[in-house]
Amino acid sequence: MTQAAKTGSDHLKALQDGRWISINGEVVSNHIEHPAFRAAVKTAADLYDFSSASPNLEKMTFRSPTSGRAVSRAWQLPTTYQELVERRQALEQIACNTSGWVGRTPDHVASTLSAMVMGIDLFERHGVKRASALQEYFTWARDNDIWAGYAIVPPQTDRQPPARQGDFINASVCDEDSEGITIKGARQLATGLPMAQELLLGAVQPLKPGDERASFTAMVPVNAKGVKLMSRKSYEQLAGSTFDYPLSSRFDENDTVVYCDEVKIPWDRVFVHNDIQMARAQWFDIPVMAYQNYPAQIRLSVKLRFLLGLAYRMAQENGLLALPPVMETLGQMAAEVNVVQGMITAMETNGVQYGKYFIPNSSIQYSAMVYSQSLYPAFIARMRELAGGSMLSLPSSVADFTSSATAEYVERTHGTAKRSAVDRVKLFNLGWDAIGSEFASRHAQYEIFYSGPAFGNRIRNYSAYDWGQATTLVDNFLSSYDGPAGPVLGA
C-alpha cells in the first residue's frame, strides 16, 4: 500500500527528536512548544498540510519513482521545460503561503541535493562509494519528503588564530574509522533549523592545501549526538501579538550557529571527503549553486509583489495615490517586480538540457542574483519614503484598543471616515514589521547576503555569461568597414 503524503502532524512528530538547541542561556527541551520557535514550527507544519490536502495534491506533489508516494515537487528532477514550469508553480505556491517571508523553505536544500544528483558523474569521479551514498540518501530524503537545512560557511572567527593550540574552529574531521568520520568545530549560518529534520554540512568557500580536514560534505540528523544549535535572538518570542507584529510572530525561521562536538557521521551519509578541489567543484562545476538559488528568486518575486501591494495600500490609505511623484515611485517599483518575475521566466524559456535533465539558464540566474542583491535595499528605501511618519505614530500595542483608559482616544486619533482605527493600525503595523522592525532588518541583511557576497556573485555571473554573443556583434561590425588604408565609405 502506497504511503500517504506527508502531513503537518507527521512533520511535528519528526521534529520531536530531542535535539540540542539553546537560546537565552538555556537548552530548550521541547523546541516545538517553546515561545521562541513554536509559531515558525507551526508555519512549517502548515506547509505540509497545504500540500497534502486533496485540492492541492496534484499541483504541489508528484509520485516518487521509487516509493510511489506523493512527495513535494521540490524533489522532482525535471527532464522537460514543462516539468520545470510545473515544479516552479509548486515552489511559487510555497512562497505564496508565507508571502515570501520564509527564506529556507524545504525546497531550498532539496534543490541542492537534486542538483548534486543531476551531477552524479562528478561524484562518481570522486569515488563510487561517495556517489552511491549521495544517490541513496537522496532517494531516502525524497521518499520521506524531509525538510533539511544547511550550514556551509565557516564561522567568522575562523579568520583569526585559534584561541588554544589544537582548537577546531571551522568544522573539520578530527577522526575517522571504518564506520565513518567524526566532526569537530563550527559552521554557519544555519537558517531555519528549528523547522528542519536534517542538516547538510559542507564547505562553499574556497579551501587551500592543508584544509583537507574541512573538505567534507555530509548529512546529519539535527538531533545527532554532539550537534549543538545556538540560536540568535528570537523575534517571534519578542513579538507579543500577531496584531502588533504580524510577520515576526509567525515567520521568524531563525538562524543558528552549529557546533559539532565530535559528531560521528556514518560513511553512507558522506558525499565528499578529504578533497579540497571536490569540495569546491560540487557547488560550481555542476549546476548546484544556480539550481538552489532559482527557488530563492521565485520566493523573492512573491515577496516583492507582497511589498509592492503593501506600499500601494499604505500610499492609498494616506491619500497619496493621485500625486505624480507617488505614481512615479510605485511605477518604478512595479517595473522592478516585473524584472524579477521576467528573469524567472527567462531562466525557464532559455533553459538547457543538462544530461537528461532540463534546468534553468545559469547565466540568467546569476544575473538575477546580482540584480536582486542591490534591488532589495533600494526597494525598502522607497517604501520608507512612501510611508513617511505613518508607522511612527502607532499605538504602543494591541492593549491600547482594549483598555478603558485609552480605547476611545485611539479611535479618535487613528480612525478615519473610511477606515476604523483597528484596520488602519493593522495596515501600518504590517508595514512596520515588513520594513522597520528587527525582523525586517534581519530580512534586509538576509536578502543581500544569503547567496554570498555581491562581488562573488558578480564574478560568477562574469564566468557564466556567453561573452561570444556580445563580442561577435562588435567584431562583425568592426569587420564591416576598412581601416585608414582602405577605401572611404561613401566616396
285 is in an annotated binding site: no
Closest CA to 451 of 376, 371, 369: 369
Q: Which residue has the cell 511589498?
A: 307
- Cβ atoms of residues 251 and 102 within 8 Å: yes
Q: Do 215 and 279 contact (CB within 8 A), yes or no?
A: yes
Does 191 show up as a binding residue in the annotation? yes
Helix (H) or strand (E) segment spanning residue 220: strand 217-221
Q: Name all contacts of 293-296 with Cβ < 8 Å and 24+ positions apart.
A: 293/365, 293/369, 293/451, 294/111, 294/344, 294/347, 294/360, 294/365, 295/74, 295/91, 295/105, 295/107, 295/108, 295/111, 296/103, 296/108, 296/450, 296/451
Q: Is the peptide bond before 307 cis (omega within 30 degrees of 0)?
A: no
Distances, alpha carbon 68 to alpha carbons 8, 143, 147, 421, in Å:
20, 8, 19, 53
Q: How many helices (H) and strands (E) does the chain have?
A: 18, 14
Grid cell 549543538 is found at 228
Whether the Cβ atoms of residue 99 and residue 48 lie closer than 8 Å to each other: no
The pair phi, psi for residue 403, each rounded to 5°, is -80, 130
Phi–psi pair at 286, nearest 5 degrees? -125, 165
Flag whether 188 is marked binding: no
Tell me the CB-side half-sphere exposure of residue 242, using CA atoms within 13 A. 4
Residues forming a β-bridge with 173: 183
Run of H or E residues at 354: strand 352-354
Report CA-CA distances (Å) from 27 to 24, 30, 436: 9, 9, 30
Does 157 belong to an annotated binding site?
A: yes
CA distance 435 to 50: 28
Which cell numbers hold the place of 44?
Answer: 512549517
Check whether 156 is labelled as a binding-site residue: yes
Residue numbers in the known binding site for FAD are 156-159, 191
Residue numbers in the known binding site are 156-159, 191
